[in-house]
Amino acid sequence: MKKRIGIMTTGGDCSGLNTLINRIARGAMLRGWQIVGIMDGTDGLCTTPPSVIEFDAQTLPIECARMAGSFLHNGRAGALNFETAAETGQLAHFNKKLQQSLSELKLNALILIGGNGSISLAWCNRDIYSDIQLICIPKTIDMDIPLTDRTIGFDTAVQQLTSFCDQLMLTARSHHRWFVVQTMGRDCGQLALNAGIAIGASAILIPEIKFDIDSLVKHIKSSPRDYGIILVSEGISLRGHSGRPADMISRKLTASGIVNRTAYPEHTQRVGDTVATDRILATRMADCALHAIENNETYVMTAVSNCECKTVSLSEFFSAGYISADPNIPELQTSDAYVSPDDPLLEIAVNLGIYIGEQK
């Protein structure tokens, strides 16, 4: 019997999604399977009828697969989704609607492409997918997903942030000035840490490592240069102060006589033509997901560990991380990964004279 496969992208967007969609569709059609793209993630499953498109060889041309964003979209403001359903007391209705829509679509399998929140929600609400195979693929610029060494979109985000800071470094030098750059990453410091190593930042502040503002000021004042970049992850906090992290650090530097400006790359970190390593990762994970469908696997996630691309069970994924309440849906939980104290980049940063806090 010809298989009918659904694909949807959920959560925040990132580069690499279109490459992944293209590779899944290409591999599935070579197998003679039907491919259905679900528009706007779970939002599309809540419309009547479900909002979908049927893929053919021309649906997402290969030359467009490098582009950022998602051809299938990731959701729209105000639509019924896990978050709005929780706010309005409609979670049971929402879950039932998802299950009904999936049944109407007559899918054999669903490939859910999402971050740690989306994948955690899929596992915690796994009864929704009891009648089909569920294969999850991890994508996020935060790289905060347990059990995988890489997530789709991360490398491109690091490149985007690196390019942004490279340009700032030139104007910083021209004006003998420091730039405090606030990165994305939520409560995980991987994006700031990797980009900071790439640009040769003077300091990298991440949520996982406590820092002392006086030590940071002393470090900047003792620098052999009078310019540079201080990378600040959006998840850090400074006791007794409120506001955006970069602004808090900037005010402290200014009070100490250090000339500085703040800069916010914001959503440019989510875009940019997908770099080669993300395209390769997307292709590997697409191939792994298609093999999982052939092997009748379900409730699994594709993952890269020690250079091997394989599937891990969603139960393993969930239990391997730090479990906490979802920031937007308190009654549901997510599984998170963070920068490990043993991450070799931390030691490298210290060896390069980069201030990373009081850990070492």
**Chain Cα centroid distance, residue 360:** 28
The pLDDT tens digits of the residues spanning 277-297 come to: 999 999 999 999 999 999 999
What's residue 50's pLDDT?
94
Which residues are the active-site residues?
142
157-270+341-351: CATH topology is Rossmann fold (3.40.50)
CATH ID of 4-153+274-320, from 3.40.50.150, 3.30.360.10, 3.20.20.80, 3.40.50.450: 3.40.50.450
What's residue 360's pLDDT?
52
What's residue 359's pLDDT?
66
| 4-153+274-320 and 157-270+341-351, same CATH topology | yes
The pLDDT tens digits of the residues spanning 136-171 come to: 999 999 999 999 999 999 999 999 999 999 999 999
The pLDDT tens digits of the residues spanning 88-130 come to: 888 889 999 999 999 999 999 999 999 999 999 999 999 999 9
For the chain, give every domain's residue range.
4-153+274-320, 157-270+341-351
Mean pLDDT value of segment 186-193: 97
